[in-house]
Amino acid sequence: MIDLQTVMKFLLYYAGDLANVFFIITVGTGLYWIIFFKAQKSVSVLLPMPVQEERFVTYVGCAFALKALQFLHKIISQITIDIFFIDWERPKGKVLKAIEGEGGVRSATVPVSIWRTYFVANEWNEIQTVRKINPLFQVLTVLFFLEVVGFKNLALMDSSSSLSRNPSSYIAPYSRILRYAVTTALWLVIGIIQIVFFAAFYERFVEDKIRQFVDLCSMSNISVFLLSHKCFGYYIHGRSVHGHADTNMEEMNMNLKREAV
């Protein structure tokens, strides 16, 4: 049944896809102008008129608004996910407890420690901020190429493609379309390089926090069950093959040695 919630979900996902389309169109348009305007030997391509620049800015604003709407929907979806931590640890035995007021003694099972579950939940909260790019490095690198290397000079409204300009000579004003093209291209290139480095080198040879979390679940004998929707979710099977994880250091070391063999 297509109800109001389904229609709202469709519109939110459609807003995100439409924002991607607007972004691709604006980036492609900006790169077109910066390539053909700066690379021309004779005057054959002119920059857009101010009215056309206003329309371009409107497209960029629409893309930003639609992507912000999708971003808010993503945050709401993430904070409403149901997460269950399943502790597979079994009691190791029973203890004798005195019954107050009756003078008797009865047996009770040894309680399982809750600290392993707390520790896994804390690690889950920490990996929520793991990203494939470093935002601080991203911003500083873009500013370095724009201000220090001189890529900002490509956004001037003249046909020169030189990155350095003489301060005593005439400097043309900046074009909003060219500025958008230069900064967006730098941001995308540096971001893609970071993602490739993170996926191909850092995760393989330094650390992979997601795999470390899965190993931690297996060591702690705790599984994680995430329900992102009513009838759909994800499961991390962390049940230990040794049966017990709440043990001393000697037994834990013996378990690891058995796994290595």
> 226-248, pLDDT tens digit by residue?
998 888 999 999 888 777 777 77
pLDDT at 14 over 90: yes
Q: Of residues 1 and 193, which shows the higher confidence score?
A: 193
Report whether pLDDT(100) > 60: no
Higher pLDDT, 130 or 109: 130
> How confident is residue 107, by pLDDT bands cut at 50, 70 and 90?
low
Q: Quick one: pLDDT at residue 130?
A: 87
Whole-number percent of the chain with pLDDT over 90: 39
Range scoring the smallest mean pLDDT among 14-18, 66-70, 93-97: 93-97
Inform me whether the pLDDT recorded for 67 exceeds 70: yes
pLDDT at 165: 78
Average pLDDT of span 206-234: 89
DSSP 128: G
**The predicted structure's pLDDT at residue 99:** 57
The closest alpha carbon to 156, from 171, 136, 170, 146, belongs to 171
Find the mean pLDDT for residues 29-38.
86
Q: Quick one: average pLDDT of 195-205?
A: 91
Q: What are residue 234's phi and psi, to 5 degrees?
A: -130, 150
Q: Give the confidence band of 104 by pLDDT, cuts at 50, 70, 90.
A: low
Mean per-residue pLDDT, 81-106: 71
8 Å CB contact between 138 and 187:
yes
DSSP assignment, residue 101? Answer: T
Beta strands in the chain (DSSP E): 82-87, 94-99, 104-109, 222-229, 232-236
pLDDT score at 42: 72
Band the pLDDT of 101: cuts 50, 70, 90: low
Cβ atoms of 26 and 59 closer than 8 Å: yes
How does residue 169 score in pLDDT terms, banded at 50, 70 and 90?
confident
pLDDT one-digit tens code per residue, 44-64: 777 788 888 899 999 999 999
